[in-house]
């Protein structure tokens, strides 16, 4: 369990089931790439220009 997860668990006084759910969620988030690909900027800009 990382320090952020531990801090959240302690501050919210989570019971065992919610603490376990938080740990699972933290593991999933660690594996996800939360950055968008560079081509998304160009595609988003083009999409927004069409809408106006």
pLDDT in tens, 1-52: 689 899 999 999 999 999 999 999 999 988 887 777 777 778 888 888 886 5
For residue 43, the model assigns a pLDDT of 82
Rounded distance, CA 5 to CA 2, Å?
5
This model's pTM is above 0.75 = no
What is the pLDDT, as a whole number, of residue 35?
78
């Amino acid at each position: 369990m990382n320090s952020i997860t531990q801090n959240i668990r302690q501050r919210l006084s989570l019971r065992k089931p919610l603490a376990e759910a938080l740990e699972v969620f933290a593991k999933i988030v660690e594996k996800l790439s939360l950055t968008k690909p560079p081509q998304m900027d160009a595609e988003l800009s083009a999409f927004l220009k069409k809408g106006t």
